[in-house]
Structure 1
Amino acid sequence: MKILASMLAVGAVTVPSIASARDDAGRIQIKAFATVVLPDGEITAVNTDIVGLPGNTQTKASDNVVPTVAAEYFVSDNFSIETICCLTQHDVDGTSGLPGAELVADAKLIPATVTAKYHLPLAGVRPYVGAGATYFWWVDVEPGESTLPLGVTRTTLSDELGLVLQAGLDIPLNDNGFGLSVDAKRYFVDTTARWFAGDTLAIETEHKLDPWVISAGVSYRF
C-alpha cells in the first residue's frame, strides 16, 4: 500500500509538471488544414409536396475538399477554445425515387464553429477531445438543374444551430512552435429545404446533414 501510495503521489506531481513545462497558458495556435467534408443529406420528413414526389424519394449531399484555418487560444495548459473558418460547397442529388436528379446546386455553406478542447497532459504528441456549438449559414443556394423543368425558380436551405464533437492530435516538430495536426469533427445539424415556383412553396423537406469533417495540416503556436 505504501508503494501504491508513493506511485500515486509521484503521478500526481508528474502530470502537472509536464503540463506546466509546456507553459501553454495564454498562447495562440494557428492551423492550416486540407479538409474533407462528408455530409449526409438524408430526407427525414416531407412537409409540403404539390408536385407529387415518388414515395421512396431519398437524397444525398455531395462531399467536398476545402482549405480551412483554425485559431486556438489556450486558457490554461490543458484547456483551449478554438474556432474555424471555411467555405464549403455542396449539391444535393436524388438517390432513390429520383436517382441522379440534381435537386440543389452549388449550395455554399459557412459552418461557424466554436469548440472547447481538453488536451491530455502528455509530453510530446498531444491528443485532445472537444465539444461545442455550430451555426450553419447558407450564403448561396441555387435550384438543381432537374428542378427547373418543374417551374422551380428559387431554392433555400435554412440556417441552423447544432452541436459538434471533436478529437485530434497535435504533433510538435521542434521547439519553435511548428507542428503537424490531424482533426476529426462530427456535426449534428439539420436543415429545411424549400423549392419555390414563383411565390408558391412547391416542396418543403427536412434533411439530416450531420457531416464528418476530417482535417490534416500544419500548425504554429506562439
Structure 2
Amino acid sequence: MRTVLSRGLGALALMSLVHAAPALASDGQGRLQVKALATAVLPDGKIDKVNADLVGLPANTQTQANDNVVPTLAVEYFFSPGLSVETICCMTQHDVDGTTGLPGAELVSDAKLIPATVTLKYHLNTGGISPYIGAGPAYFLFIGEDPGAATVALGVDKLTLSNELGVVLQAGVDVPLNGRGLALSLDAKRYFIGTTARWYDGGVKVIETEHDLDPWVLSAGLGVRF
C-alpha cells in the first residue's frame, strides 16, 4: 500500500507541473477553501482472520458494521489552481453485528471513530467546474468502544479496537454557485484500513479477530473559497 500511495502522490505532483496554471492571484481565487458537508460512512467490517477464540465461535461467523451519516468539515489549501492539500474533521459511530454464525448478535457497541485524513488533490479546471482526484494517508483512531450485548452475555467486560494507518483514494467535483467563492461540492473517498478487535473477560483475552473496514465515505455540501 505504501508503494501505491507514493506512486499516487507522485503522479498528482507530476500532473500539476505538466498542466501548470496561472497564479492564484491572477485568477482572483483565494488559497483557502472550507466545506461543510453531510457525509455517509459505509464501512465493511467483515472478519478477515480469527487469531484467538476461547468461547467457541461458530465456524462460519461473519460480521458487518452499520452505516452512519455525520456532519463533516473539510479545510483545503491551494498551492496553485491545480494542486491542493485537504484535511477533514469528523467523528462517526458504529456497531458491529453478526451476519452468519451469530446472525443479529451485537458484538461491538458504539465504537467512535476519528478518521484523521490528509489528501493531496489534483484539480482539472474546466470553465469553472473543477473535477479532482486525490490520495493520501489516513489514521483511524477509535475511542469509547464497548463490547456488544451478545458478548457481555458471555462474560466479556472489555473490548479494544486497534488504531491503524492506511491509505485513502478520493474523487469529486466542485461546482461554482456564484462569483464570490461559493460552490457545491460532491466527494467520494475509499479507505483501505483494517482493525484488530480484542474481547477480554477479567483481563483474559478470549477473542481476537482482524476486520476489514475499508469504508466508502460519500459527501455532499457547500464550500466557500477565500
Q: Which runs of 4+ in 1 moved over 4 A?
A: 17-21
Q: Which residue of 2 aligns with 1:45?
A: 49
Instruction: Provide the C-alpha distance between the structure 2 equivalents of 1:191 and 1:161, rounded to a whole number of angstroms.
Output: 9
Q: Which residue of 2 aligns with 1:66?
A: 70
Any conservation in 1 of the 2:41–2:69 contact (CA below 8 Å)? yes
Instruction: Provide the C-alpha distance between the structure 2 equivalents of 1:18 and 1:84, rounded to a whole number of angstroms.
Output: 25
AA paired with 2:74? Answer: A
Per-residue CA deviations over 1:176-199 (Å, capped at 9, x if unaligned) read 111110000000001000000011
Confirm whether residue 78 of structure 1 aligns to residue 82 of structure 2: yes
Any conservation in 1 of the 2:21–2:80 contact (CA below 8 Å)? no
Any conservation in 2 of the 1:19–1:122 contact (CA below 8 Å)? no
Q: Which residue of 2 aligns with 1:113?
A: 117
SS at 1:146 equivalent: helix
Instruction: Provide the C-alpha distance between the structure 1 equivalents of 2:31 and 2:71, rounded to a whole number of angstroms.
Output: 24
AA paired with 1:211? Answer: P
Instruction: Provide the C-alpha distance between the structure 2 equivalents of 1:121 and 1:213, rounded to a whole number of angstroms.
Output: 24
Of 9, 18, 27, which residue of structure 2 is paired with 1:22? Answer: 27
Task: Report the count of equivalent residues.
Answer: 208
Q: How far off its partner does 1:18 sit?
A: 10
Instruction: Provide the C-alpha distance between the structure 2 equivalents of 1:29 and 1:17, rounded to a whole number of angstroms.
Output: 18
Instruction: Provide the C-alpha distance between the structure 1 equivalents of 2:190 and 2:71, rounded to a whole number of angstroms.
Output: 18
Instruction: Provide the C-alpha distance between the structure 2 equivalents of 1:15 and 1:203, rounded to a whole number of angstroms.
Output: 54
Q: Which residue of 2 aligns with 1:214?
A: 218
Per-residue CA deviations over 1:121-161 (Å, capped at 9, x if unaligned) read 32211100000010000011011011111100000100000
Compute the RMSD of aligned alpha carbons.
Answer: 1.7
Of 33, 36, 43, which residue of structure 1 is paired with 2:40? Answer: 36
Query: Structure 1 105/136 Cα, relative in aligned 2: closer, same or farther at 3 Å?
Result: same
Of 163, 166, 171, which residue of structure 1 is paired with 2:170? Answer: 166
SS at 1:147 equivalent: helix
SS at 2:119 equivalent: strand
Name the TM-score, length of structure 1 as normaliser.
Answer: 0.90
**Which structure has the larger Rg?**
1
Any conservation in 2 of the 1:16–1:121 contact (CA below 8 Å)? no
Instruction: Provide the C-alpha distance between the structure 1 equivalents of 2:162 and 2:122, rounded to a whole number of angstroms.
Output: 32
Q: How far off its partner does 1:76 sit?
A: 1.1
Any conservation in 1 of the 2:45–2:96 contact (CA below 8 Å)? yes
Q: How far off its partner does 1:46 sit?
A: 0.2
Instruction: Provide the C-alpha distance between the structure 2 equivalents of 1:183 and 1:147, rounded to a whole number of angstroms.
Output: 37
Name the TM-score, length of structure 2 as normaliser.
Answer: 0.89
Identity, in percent, stands at 63
